[in-house]
Structure 1
């Protein structure tokens, strides 16, 4: 093997024809013989390029609706032959196999077909066989063969040829081989994941994970940690698919928090009115509805003005100018919304470090999604928490039943609690959080912390009493003892929503009755670790 490998003969067979003609013409101008198949060959001929059909090389026509065309020794021998091995060279001569120095292949559009919801039979027909086989063969023989699987690598290839008198370096071929194997791995991942779902297999024996590089992070959660951001190809509206209009590049923590904020605010249907969520360290420090976005933002901000500083703001409706002006009154890291007016963008333009992200839609919080979390030596896989309860799902367990207004606040608090780190306690009044306790080892401590925060905010705002007075309270899991419930009552809560299911439910219900509190059970918990 030598470092430089000449490029005299290329096989081009692509589904995505973007840039194909320009690449082929540039190769032909450099004296490269072009081989191709089916639609690719037709495209090249229509562009006036001389191209030889693979069927002519193999001596077999494309058959079985194109399923069989490149699976032949004349192709794979040309890709796999070691140019410095005499036995390989003799076999090529004996069997009339010409070397193939460049393979340009992109695969059947399986992921795109899946994204548009195609049926089973159509999905099967979009599983590429010959393409991955050729890619793996060419990439294995990267000592001599250059493999291109991505349109993004067309121009780098031509630059490499120009820099090396029509040849490619070993390092360049290594890099492209690595890209090629990652592509076939991701492709097989998409196929196997789809098939597991199609046949209802929740726990396949082997599970693959794949992503596409989006950006390198300056660092991870901390400055000594390396990090990068990859997209999963699902196209789910959110931070991975959003358009960034201004501001610095998003950090690892920005992305994590922005995702948490947008997923939370998506719980509130924009058809039912504006909603705003303010997030800090992946926990909400304020969530509210309002008659306008501005009112919703102000109510969310008033829950915990201290924590909102340097936070992430998510909106369920397009950002308007009035709300933008209120947001820029304090330092905010990121704002994400399903759109923004030009006037709002102009307001944000005065704050160059504020990141503004817009999406085309809100994520569907009820859509089934698989989530992954790495642990030492393994991976935890589960369905995303899409649990939902409505009015008809609630069971009143106390002598006193909630009023309609209280029930609305209880359901609001329950939606927020789903997005708060456990143990979670959320106080809500008039469809706005007024106290949030997150991530404590004791549910009692979460109730205490949320109430204390509400007291501090009342003092700061000059209110006669904390907003927890007359509030509804949600607990993400059952109260194991009555003490947490009593702490919520002491803070002023008048009604409670919780899953129920504790061995001491009777004690907790009796304590609620004694305190004159209405309580409902959901039968569902929302642990979030």
Structure 2
């Protein structure tokens, strides 16, 4: 009996050559719509779906493959006489190979002017149904959803007349991943359309971007997946202009860096980052001076770090960065001269380009944190804060310079790992105390790093001070300005200590834990 293949594809890459080979091997080809037209025009003989079902395509193509003569031909078990007898009595021909890919739902919803009606019309029904039927019956049916699998299927058909069970299992698994991802996108689209904020099922899907050499440590296996609906301002979407492949830790650090700099849009800014914490932030009227400030923040820690700049990198800035060892440089653009300088004798330096004009779109993406047996989901900490709403809780008001430094410090503390302390002036970070198990230890670390540079400095804490000993430590260092959320039952003790030492202190009312 002549074997039959059913081919119906939206992505027609390679399909004509594949179908021609099938015909050479003696297969009959059933096809539909645009696929049939493409094959017919290429001289590949096909059987119309109408001739199989005895029913015309109707309702603008919505109904064409949803028919017992199609699904019976796919689902009939070849090892059960009852199935084969039913197929024979109802004149159902068996279908041994299915090649289907789906309506471009993802591509449709990514269009900036897409309408709800367009999105709905591009939900494939018949395609996933045929794929699932064929994949369920993979004991006998070969199912192909990915054009990259055409070659292996043809090789096996040429060599043995049929595909192996292992190949059919692998292809079936890919089909179920494909249809699950397709349905996840549809579910996500409709969930957003109806404004459901806490769905009882979380449906998210990602595409493999890059298999990694290893994870956080060499003994850990890892891979990098990109959201199926890519975010432009993201490391997964960055254009790499130079350097070797990003590592697991590179990606996490780079992600932290590009989050931090989103809060510094108004002026040229440079953020230097090490192990998920900022080790330097500088802001100035030009990017070269901003680099100088970021570098001076901590010339030791920046070595081997990641640097992100929010303005085009010019030659003068590139010369300064080229003189030290950096892992990654990220910027919206680079002059040709700057790029030539940075890449000179530095083939491993990773240089990334990102569309900084897309920063706002990246802020709405949820954060997912894996835990054993579950997943935590939250929105990003991108609350808009207005310094006019802050409260000066001490007798002494901040000077204008101190107020500028306090605002800079408050922006800078946001991504320091908790318990987090940062000391800045009005243009640069001076000291960072990240991730200690008690806040006074973080205060001491930041002060020690900032020593001899505390004139006009401000100190920010990501959460309230639980005891006045923190204030005593800060006052002893010579720092005169503090910004913190407030909210402790012992706030008054901290206020009294600040007043005793003539400090100014602001409560913002907003906490910025970063675990």
TM interval, shorter chain, is: over 0.9
1:82 corresponds to 2:68: no
Counterpart residue number, 2:463 = 477
Range that drifts further, 398-407 or 385-394: 398-407
Q: Distance in 2 between matches of 1:168 and 1:346?
A: 52
Contact 1:262–1:315, Cα closer than 8 Å, also in 2:
no
Q: CA deviation at 1:333?
A: 1.3
Counterpart residue number, 1:185 = 180
Q: Distance in 1 between matches of 2:255 and 2:153?
A: 37
The 3 A distance-change label for structure 1 pair 393 and 176 is farther
Q: CA deviation at 1:25?
A: 3.8
Task: Give deviations 1:264-291, integer Å, cap 9, x for gaps.
Answer: 122222xx33211111111111111123
Unpaired stretches in structure 2, ≥5 consecutive residues = none
Range that drifts further, 255-264 or 382-391: 382-391
| From 137, 153, 161, the counterpart of 2:149 | 153
Range that drifts further, 424-433 or 504-513: 504-513
Q: Map residues 154-169 of structure 1 onto 2, 5 A cutoff.
A: 154-162=150-158, 164=159, 167-169=162-164
Contact 1:7–1:102, Cα closer than 8 Å, also in 2:
no
| From 186, 189, 205, the counterpart of 1:194 | 189
| From 44, 50, 56, the counterpart of 2:51 | 56
Range that drifts further, 83-92 or 216-225: 83-92
Task: Give deviations 1:463-520, integer Å, cap 9, x for gaps.
Answer: xx2x233212221111222222333333333322221211122222232233333222
Q: CA deviation at 1:253?
A: 0.7
| From 424, 429, 432, the counterpart of 1:433 | 429
Q: Map residues 68-467 of structure 1 onto 2, 5 A cutoff.
A: 68-116=63-111, 118-162=114-158, 164=159, 167-236=162-231, 237-269=233-265, 272-349=266-343, 350-361=345-356, 362-364=358-360, 367-455=363-451, 465=452, 467=453
The 3 A distance-change label for structure 1 pair 141 and 424 is same
1:523 corresponds to 2:509: yes
1:512 corresponds to 2:498: yes
Q: CA deviation at 1:425?
A: 0.9
Q: CA deviation at 1:165?
A: 5.2
How many residue pairs get matched?
Answer: 511
Q: Distance in 2 between matches of 1:155 and 1:273?
A: 54
Q: CA deviation at 1:366?
A: 6.9
Task: Give deviations 1:7-43, integer Å, cap 9, x for gaps.
Answer: 9422222233344444434444444332222233333
Give the TM-score of the pair, scaled to structure 2: 0.92
The 3 A distance-change label for structure 1 pair 360 and 167 is farther
Q: Distance in 1 between matches of 2:60 and 2:264?
A: 48
Root mean square deviation, CA, Å: 2.4
Contact 1:318–1:340, Cα closer than 8 Å, also in 2:
yes
Unpaired stretches in structure 1, ≥5 consecutive residues = 1-5, 456-464
Q: Distance in 2 between matches of 1:335 and 1:298?
A: 15
Q: CA deviation at 1:252?
A: 0.9
The 3 A distance-change label for structure 1 pair 294 and 115 is same
